[in-house]
Amino acid sequence: MFTLRQYLLTLWQPHGLMRTLDTLEPLRDRTGRPLFAAGNSAAVFRVKYRGRDCALRCWFRPRSTERLRALYGDRLRERELFVYHTAERGEWVDAALCDWIEGPTLHRAACDAARQRDTERLHGLSRAFDAWAARAVADEEAWGDLKPENLIVDGSGAIRPIDFDARFLPAFAGERSPELGTAAYQHPARTIDDFGPELDDYPAAAISTALAALALDPSLIDRYAASDGLLLTPALGTADPARREALALFERLGDAAHYRIARLLASPGLRLPDLPTLLRCAVAPPAPADEAPELFARDGLWGYRRGAETAIDPLYDCAFDFTEGLAAVRLGAAWHYIDTAGRTRLHCPGCEAVKPFRGGRAEVRRDGRCLAIDREGNISE
């Protein structure tokens, strides 16, 4: 075991205590203390090396050099730092020299934007995360401790991971998980025997749900400030009031992709097979066309296609054919009208039933009464 104090002593005056990084200089605060951030398993020091800012990762517990080599590649510096145990005795230990990524963590960026009611910023964070996560959950690897605190929003707005220690790689197949990740973002059923590419599915769905919900209603940050994670508390399962409120929000506003993603959080297993497709749906740009797509069903849900190509993914519990450029679709208990690009155009709050458009109006039924909705969403007798 190594302590933060041991590393601080080494980096306070590192010359002669580095095997290959003799020109490395720690960046310091006003008191001269090296700048660092410490977690449960490692401390990360901000340093200057060969004219650029870097992150020097130092572990508190000895790690397999072979595993670290697989995780960090040429960023790993084997037996790089001399750490003192006593004034006379010490040992050389591994460290990793990584790029320094400037920017706030995703958690800080989202919380700050929500408290400032900056919905534009929140929508941008939601889209950036969904785009990154769609790629991350589709491959045969996993980060293992996916959480907003381990993701940096860089200057371009892109998402950048910063913690590699818990990663699963195909080379580790058959091994047990070296750690269980942060409980606030992990599936409640995860155990040490779960160590595979599915590890990121649940946390990715949870983070996507939280960011999309905050983008639609930033005041959620006030009501669920005490949650274990960002809005959600996985241990509560389907009883989590934040998840219920997010589902209701997506249903009411017609956000079909995030509605389906939030529903995946009720899965009894860690694997969420539909997640990559749903994340791509959440960020896919609309592709309007003059020709209306045709209705089709898959796995009990309704979508639209043109020929053999899917035009609008099957996300809806019920749907009608397009008429006059709009189609009625039901998400949960809420009816909406979408256009041929799949964008939600009209909401039908409280309506139990709807019909297709004819002559610029559609018949809807609310509270047992027959009403009409026009193309601007106005409902009248």
Give the pLDDT score at 108: 97
The CATH classification number of 4-99 equals: 3.30.200
Predicted confidence (pLDDT) per residue in 65-96, tens digit: 999 999 999 999 999 999 999 888 999 999 99
SS3 content of the chain, % helix, strand, coil (to 5): 30, 30, 40
Task: Check residue 40 and give its pLDDT.
Answer: 84
Whole-prediction pTM = 0.94
Separation in Å, CA 226 to CA 41, 108, 162, 182, 233: 25, 15, 25, 16, 9
What CA–CA distance (Å, rounded) separates 66 from 256?
Answer: 44
- pLDDT of 182-225, one tens digit each? 999 999 999 999 999 999 999 999 999 999 999 999 999 999 99
Q: Are 332 and 317 in contact (CB under 8 A)?
A: yes
CA–CA gap between residue 143 and residue 200 (Å, rounded): 7
Q: Is 60 exposed, middle or buried (0-12, 13-18, 19+ CB in 10 A)?
A: middle
How would residue 287 be classed by pLDDT, with cut points 50, 70 and 90? confident
Q: Quote the CA–CA distance of 123 and 111 in Å, as a whole number.
A: 13
Q: Is the pLDDT of residue 290 over 80?
A: no
**Burial of residue 13, with CB atoms counted within 10 A of its CB: 0-12 exposed, 13-18 middle, 19 or more buried:** exposed
* Averaged pLDDT, 149-175: 95
**Percent of the chain residues past pLDDT 90, beyond the cut:** 92
How many angstroms separate the CA atoms of 351 and 371, rounded? 9
Q: Are 44 and 53 in contact (CB under 8 A)?
A: no
In sign, the C-alpha dihedral spanning 131, 133, 136, 138 is negative
Contact 39, 62 (CB under 8 A): no
Arithmetic mean of pLDDT over the chain = 95
Amino acid 286: pLDDT: 80
Cα-Cα-Cα-Cα dihedral sign, residues 115, 135, 235, 178: negative
> Mean pLDDT over residues 23-40, rounded?
93
Instruction: Please report the pLDDT score of residue 87 as a whole number.
Output: 84
Q: Which fold has domain 106-283?
A: Transferase(Phosphotransferase); domain 1 (1.10.510)
Q: Convert the pLDDT of each residue in 321-334 to its tens digit.
A: 999 999 999 999 99
Domain ranges of the chain: 4-99, 106-283, 294-380
For residues 254 and 15, give the distance between their C-alpha atoms in angstroms, rounded to a whole number.
60
Structure tokens at 243: 């998840």
CATH number, domain 294-380: 2.40.10
CA count, 13 A, side-chain hemisphere, 349? 9
pLDDT of residue 62: 87
